[in-house]
């Protein structure tokens, strides 16, 4: 495999932008296929957790487990990328997620809640791989096109991720045809999509963009990436944070990315349960320790809302990338957190109206898109090349941790102060980021 990469790199070393275009196409197609897995998990994960655990208190457990696993996997996958290239890291994460989707199906059949959590954890490795893919898109990109390249790969998730929640009903039919519980059906599609994405990356992501970029930097030396600091060993997180702290731009980028993801995960993870309670009232038999599946109408409403939210996250990514390249990184970060602030106010104060909740979720997705694309672009160009992969791994670790904390505490916050209180808590976070970013604007050139 290594000799194949060496030959491919030698054949295309004089045309790195040709390799870059091919890389973006391959990454985008893989993102499209693997997006089905994340869409299905987001749409029915909380409902499946309540159904198997028998308690609303576990509603956020699937999202929390996925995001926590993604956080824990980010640095090991970054280390693998630094040693063996992006392809090895991405394929490892995607095939792990495929195994996770199979375990979720097994959990619905056996009704064993810990198996569901194990499957969610492996699905989280796929999330970590998908996050890393956006950085793979800029390994060979020209500085003036970094935002666009990153955004195209982020945008590619749209079709698969938006389709995922709307596969609940078709998935139910497929599941029943296979003798599975109806709610397991979407994960049949997830398994197939992840398998195809992994095979595509394994076969077509050649030459490896990270290894080729290192080769070009090192003057056509070895095809192996050398000089990536700190990706081995237990101090990788500390070394990465030290590298990020050395740059005010990198620190601001990390704040923007982490805060946006935490707000998004907290509100999004509780929205399916809020809509179910809003339209059906408390689950029948809850006090007696029994639950029932949501009706078809509620499934449709939840799928529609989460689909539009995910569309907000990804569909306008190219526009956000263009704005990032055209107007600068910091203005788009401010735009993103401004949209998050508006979105949670609409969803919170309009909590009794499904249309307003949906509107808020769409704007929340748009805000996440702007902050994540601009922040990721700023981060990729704010540290030395030798530290870049490690700092990107730290970013994904902190991003996943923020998502895990956000979704994990969201259930507690919602049970204490309601869905409106949860949204207003996210509003406070967005205000803090806007204040910090606004104050830093005169000192940080983007």
| Calpha distance 318→296 (Å, rounded) | 34
Instruction: Please provide residue 330's backbone torsions phi and psi, each rounded to the nearest 5 degrees.
Output: -65, -45
Residue among 424, 303, 437 nearest 370 (CA):
437
pLDDT computed for residue 116 by the predictor: 94
How far is 333 from 437, CA to CA, in rounded Å? Answer: 8
SS3 string, 13-48, reads CCCHHHHHHHHHHHHHHHHHHHHHHHHHHHHHHHHH
Cβ neighbour number for residue 53 with a 10 Å cutoff: 18
Best CA proximity match to 218, nearest among 227, 230, 205, 209: 227
Q: Which residue stretches of 315-384 are H helix? A: 317-327, 329-349, 354-380
From first to last of its 446 residues, the chain has per-residue pLDDT tens of: 444 455 444 544 447 888 999 999 999 999 888 876 566 666 677 778 888 988 877 877 887 788 788 888 999 999 899 889 999 999 999 999 999 999 999 999 999 999 999 999 999 999 899 889 989 999 998 888 889 899 999 888 766 666 666 666 777 788 778 888 888 888 888 898 899 999 999 999 999 999 998 888 876 544 333 444 444 545 677 778 888 888 899 999 999 999 999 999 999 989 988 888 887 655 333 333 334 444 567 777 887 888 889 888 888 899 999 999 999 999 999 999 999 999 999 999 999 899 999 999 999 999 999 999 999 999 988 988 878 888 999 999 998 888 878 887 888 899 889 999 999 999 999 999 999 998 887 666 65
Angstrom CA distances, 295 to 168, 283, 301, stand at 12, 11, 10
pLDDT given for residue 162 in this prediction: 64
Taking the C-alpha atoms of residue 21 and residue 152, their distance in angstroms, rounded to an integer, is: 11
Tokens of 142: 């020209």
Tokens read off for 166: 């709307």
Distances in Å between the alpha carbon of 153 and those of 29, 131, 204, 218? 8, 10, 15, 27
Long-range contacts of 53-56 (CB under 8 A, 24+ apart): 53/113, 54/289, 54/290, 54/291, 56/273, 56/283, 56/286, 56/411, 56/415
Is 419 buried (19+), middle (13-18) or exposed (0-12) by CB count in 10 A?
buried
> So what's the pLDDT on residue 239?
78
CA 321 to chain centre: 17
Cβ-count burial 132-152 (b if 16+ within 10 Å, e if not)? bbbbbbbbbbeeeebbbbbbb
User: How far is residue 152's CA from residue 138's CA, in Å, rounded to a whole number?
Assistant: 11
Predicted confidence at residue 356, as pLDDT, reads 94
**295 DSSP assignment:** P
CB 406 within 8 A of CB 266: yes
DSSP 166: G
Q: Output the pLDDT for position 287.
A: 33
CB 250 within 8 A of CB 240: no
CA distances from 291 to 53, 71, 104, 433 (A): 9, 31, 19, 40
Q: Which domains does the chain have, with CATH numbers?
A: 2-217+236-440 (1.20.1250.20)
Longest CA pairwise span in the chain (Å): 70
Instruction: Using alpha carbons, list the distances in angstroms from residue 186 to 93, 166, 173, 314.
Output: 20, 9, 10, 20
Spatial distance between the Cα atoms of 432 and 293, rounded to a whole number of angstroms: 39
Q: What is the pLDDT of residue 160?
A: 63
pLDDT at 446: 57
Q: What pLDDT does residue 223 have?
A: 39
pLDDT given for residue 36 in this prediction: 67
């Amino acid at each position: 495999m290594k000799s194949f990469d060496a030959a491919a790199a030698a054949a295309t070393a004089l045309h790195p932008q040709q390799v870059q275009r091919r890389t973006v196409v391959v990454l985008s197609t893989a993102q499209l296929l693997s997006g089905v897995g994340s869409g299905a998990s987001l749409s029915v994960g909380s409902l499946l957790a309540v159904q198997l655990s028998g308690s609303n208190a576990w509603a956020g457990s699937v999202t929390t487990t996925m995001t926590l696993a993604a956080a824990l996997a980010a640095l090991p996958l970054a280390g693998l990328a630094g040693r063996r290239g992006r392809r090895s890291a991405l394929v490892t994460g995607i095939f792990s997620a495929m195994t996770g989707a199979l375990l979720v199906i097994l959990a619905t059949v056996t009704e064993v809640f810990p198996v569901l959590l194990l499957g969610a954890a492996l699905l989280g490795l796929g999330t970590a791989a998908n996050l890393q893919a956006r950085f793979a898109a800029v390994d060979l990109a020209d500085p003036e096109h970094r935002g666009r390249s990153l955004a195209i790969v982020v945008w590619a998730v749209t079709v698969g991720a938006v389709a995922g929640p709307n596969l609940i009903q078709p998935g139910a039919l497929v599941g029943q045809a296979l003798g599975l519980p109806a709610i397991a059906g979407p994960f049949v599609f997830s398994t197939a999509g992840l398998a195809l994405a992994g095979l595509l990356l394994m076969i077509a992501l050649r030459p490896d963009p990270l290894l080729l970029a290192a080769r070009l930097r090192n003057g056509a030396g070895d095809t192996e990436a050398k000089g990536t600091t700190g990706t081995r060993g237990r101090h990788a997180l500390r070394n990465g944070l030290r590298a990020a702290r050395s740059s005010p731009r990198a620190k601001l980028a990390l704040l923007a990315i982490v805060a946006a993801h935490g707000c998004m995960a907290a509100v999004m993870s509780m929205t399916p349960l809020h809509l179910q309670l809003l339209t059906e009232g408390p689950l029948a038999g809850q006090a007696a320790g029994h639950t029932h599946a949501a009706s078809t109408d509620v499934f449709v409403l939840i799928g529609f809302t989460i689909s539009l939210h995910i569309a907000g996250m990804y569909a306008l990514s190219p526009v956000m990338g263009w704005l990032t390249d055209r107007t600068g990184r910091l203005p788009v970060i401010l735009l993103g957190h401004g949209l998050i602030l508006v979105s949670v106010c609409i969803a919170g104060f309009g909590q009794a109206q499904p249309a307003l909740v949906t509107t808020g979720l769409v704007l929340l997705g748009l805000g996440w898109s702007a902050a994540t694309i601009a922040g990721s672009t700023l981060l990729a160009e704010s540290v030395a090349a030798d530290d870049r992969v490690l700092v990107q791994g730290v970013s994904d670790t902190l991003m996943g941790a923020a998502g895990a904390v956000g979704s994990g505490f969201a259930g507690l916050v919602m049970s204490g102060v309601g869905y409106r209180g949860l949204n207003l808590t996210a509003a406070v976070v967005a205000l803090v980021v806007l204040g910090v970013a606004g104050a830093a604007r005169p000192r940080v050139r983007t």
